[in-house]
Structure 1
């Protein structure tokens, strides 16, 4: 259930989507593509996530029934794409890789939880464009993210 970011980057990194449920940068999928939510998420895009706080029982119950995405921006920036990097290729376990511009990837979201459960069958993550244009057909089966 891990995803690697590698390729034309300064620092290849390993992502563990199973811990993002405790990350304050997460956004409910149904709210991810609304104007209000974009404003809210942009306010903490550059902060380190507070993940050490305790989770209330009510929050825990919410986590078990909602679907969540997390902005890809911070993870790509932490990998430090080189100055000539232009694209991101999503390496899929299905073998049919998909490529988007680096800018579109930085503005997109990764779905990591569907109805409170990890994406075992077609995950571990799905990619959604920032504007939700691929909401009905996200990039699925992503096992690695290669920066080119």
Structure 2
């Protein structure tokens, strides 16, 4: 598979304290992907941040990041519609120009370095690649239990 463009979608709600660092880390990962697969990619990459009605400085940071780097784009909701709505909006926007989409939370609680592995898997022919967290020690008991139930049901 030849990937023409990679887009990372970040739903964001009141993420001003961490957004800049997260975006810079993801840009570096996109650059690594392009470098590692230069022979197979027509690689272009960007990041779409969906501000889900934040009440802090998240949107002004998105605007600042875009001015510094046009690879960063943003969508702004008029109010908080929720994480899933932000993901969907980001996917609907990104699919217009990209053929490989990755979603990740702004706090990077899931290992963003796995994006490198995911792209490699796609390059090897996998049409859908998704990550499943295998360590939930930092999650609350409720979150751990509901996640385990979900994945048990998914594999049943």
TM-score (norm. length: structure 2): 0.25
User: Who wins on radius of gyration, i.e. which is larger?
Assistant: 2
- Which has a greater percent of helix? 2
TM-score (norm. length: structure 1): 0.26
